[in-house]
Amino acid sequence: MPHQAPFLFIDSSKIVEGELSATYKIRGSEDFLQGHFKHNPVFPASIMIEALGQVGVLYLLKSGAETLVREVRPDSIYFTSCDGVRCHRVCKPGDVLTMTITPKRVRRPLATFEGSITVEGEKPAYAESIPLLFDYVEAAPQG
């Protein structure tokens, strides 16, 4: 993953039937929680959407999807936008985010995913479309 602590929001992951699911436990020690909000830490919705994007990055790097014709360059993946975002629940320290992304279209230079987050059976965040720009590792010369 090109993302690293303290800005990596994936603790574990698994691929099942073309979907990638990942979890992240909100620890309460994240720096941004100190000011969001003082004495009432709330995990920002924008960070939830970032976390979904990171799950998409992981999909590109580790899924082995048939539509990926070569290895993806980790340093070439960029979050380009997101559409149809809805946030319905506040998340706080101790909550475990279960994030799931489903590929809608994966063809260089763009991969588009649908993503959702659940916490204890509730859906705090959803995105209809999370496009990620990416490129492949250059192929080795033949012969």
Closest CA to 133 of 82, 81, 78, 83: 78
Neighbours of 12 (CB within 10 A): 10
At 33, the amino acid letter reads L
| pTM as predicted | 0.94
Tally of domains within the chain = 1
Quick check: is 112 in a domain?
yes
Q: Is the peptide bond before 131 cis (omega within 30 degrees of 0)?
A: no
Quick check: is 114 in a domain?
yes
Per the structure, the complete domain to which residue 121 belongs is given by 12-133
Q: 37-68, pLDDT tens digit by residue?
A: 989 999 999 999 999 999 999 999 999 899 99
Quick check: is 82 in a domain?
yes
Burial of 64 (0-12, 13-18, 19+ CB in 10 A): exposed
Quick check: is 105 in a domain?
yes
- Which one of the listed residues 3, 36, 39, 88 is annotated catalytic? 36
Indicate if 88 belongs to the active site. no
Q: 107-118, pLDDT tens digit by residue?
A: 999 999 999 999
CATH number of the domain at 94, please: 3.10.129.10
